A = this chain, B = another copy of it.
Amino acid sequence: MSPADNPCIIAVAITGSLPTKENNPAVPITVAEQVESTHEAFEAGASIAHCHVRDDAGKPTSDPERFARLKDGIERHCPGMIVQLSTGGRSGAGRERGGMLPLRPDMASLAVGSNNFPTRVYENPPDLVDWLASEMLAHDVKPEIEAFDLSHVVQATRMQADGRIKGPLYVQFVMGVKNAMPADERILDIYIETLRRLAPDALWCAAGIGANQLVLNEWAIARGGHTRT
């Protein structure tokens, strides 16, 4: 496939769930700040907005009302941009994590396995994974699979095969998380090989955490993958 047939999709993660204004005054925290920050990224070429929201104290939340306001703002300021809402575990517990899926965003993140994080277990129990996937099917939301380990890649392909996820898969390889998978170029190739072998029509992107962000951007783009800021 030539680059012209496969333009690189840039997803912008405007806020994340961890950084605060104390870490970096430029981090957009309020919905208004997030919309304007996304608008700038959209004009610079980003086509997916990966969204987390915060409560009034700046803490991560899964509050559907906040997600609704952010989604509406992005849709108004950035026509045609793909809105992807996070169902990640830093923002809520259990089914709270999927409380915004009835908003029918274009996409939502979906973890399909569990793994260690720097100081704790990132818990995605099988019944919660299946429930989130079923909510995405019910509300016509395209999942972005967050793969923190090789078995997560395999699990996504099994979920597609038995109908729990509608294909083609869109899989993000997440690297550089302490106590999970480090940024390792050979293992990125293994991820790509395994995904191609088990789900030949899948698309993939890659994200490096913290200092690994640009490294993963370069590795992904060099391999014809998509990328995440």
Chain B residues whose C-beta falls within 8 Å of the C-beta of A158 in the assembled complex: 182
CA distance A166 to B127 in the complex (A): 38
Chain B residues whose C-beta falls within 8 Å of the C-beta of A119 in the assembled complex: 125-127
Q: What distance in Å separates the Cβ of A30 from its nearest Cβ neighbour in chain B?
A: 33
Scoring A residues 105 to 120 as 1 if CB is less than 8 Å from chain B, else 0, what string do you get? 0000000011110111
| Tally of chain A residues near chain B (CB < 8 A) | 32
**B-binding segment of A73-81, A96-104, A183-191, A201-209:** A183-191
Indicate whether A123 reaches chain B with its CB closer than 8 angstroms. yes
| Interface contact A121-B120, CB-CB below 8 Å | no
Number of copies: 2
Name 24 interchain pairs, CB-CB below 8 A, sorted by A. Answer: A113-B115, A113-B116, A113-B180, A114-B115, A114-B116, A114-B121, A115-B115, A115-B151, A116-B126, A116-B151, A118-B126, A119-B127, A120-B126, A121-B123, A121-B125, A123-B123, A149-B150, A150-B150, A150-B151, A150-B187, A151-B181, A154-B182, A158-B182, A186-B194
Closest 7 CB pairs of A and B: A150-B150, A151-B181, A149-B149, A114-B121, A149-B151, A121-B123, A126-B179
